Amino acid sequence: MDGRSSLDPAYKQLGVTDGHLKLLQHANTKFRHLYEMGSEKTNSIKRLARLTLLLSVLTMVIDARSTLEQIMKFKRAGIGFLSGSAAEALMPLEFGIFICAVLYSAFHLFEGMLMRRRANWNYFYASAKSDAPAESL
């Protein structure tokens, strides 16, 4: 070979050009970028689930504190008052945990989709790369 053409004559006969190989490299770079962007968005869902849980616990603690202040103020509380107050204080936590479960489910769904796409792309790219001459990639 004269060094100018990086493709074997067999590849030229098949119609594979340097432009095709550069396009493959460009597509790989673009896929990596899009994969990283998708991965960051997916991780933000996980962070949002953690924040939701923390805010739910904080809301429950604030409600419990308010209930305890009322008990101290009146110095007398019946079982109905205590159980009703406890139920009211736990309701935001229950709702927050439900939202966290939904967010984590979405996170795992999207993460699985990203991993499958990455595995498919890696297989495609490796196959295309192995079909090309070694000095061209």
d(CA 53, CA 59): 10
> For residue 21, is it within any domain?
no
Q: What's the residue count for the chain?
A: 137
> For residue 57, is it within any domain?
yes
| Single pTM value for the model | 0.68
> For residue 2, is it within any domain?
no
d(CA 120, CA 73): 65
> For residue 94, is it within any domain?
yes
Residue 84 belongs to domain spanning: 47-129
In this predicted structure, the answer to whether residue 2 has a pLDDT above a threshold of 60 is no
> For residue 99, is it within any domain?
yes
In this predicted structure, the answer to whether residue 32 has a pLDDT above a threshold of 50 is yes
> For residue 59, is it within any domain?
yes
> For residue 12, is it within any domain?
no
What tens digit of pLDDT does each residue of 65-103 get?
Answer: 888 787 777 776 677 777 777 788 888 889 999 999 999
Q: Residues 20, 131: contact at Cβ < 8 Å?
A: no
> For residue 40, is it within any domain?
no
Report the domain count for the chain.
Answer: 1
Higher pLDDT: 83 or 9? It is 83
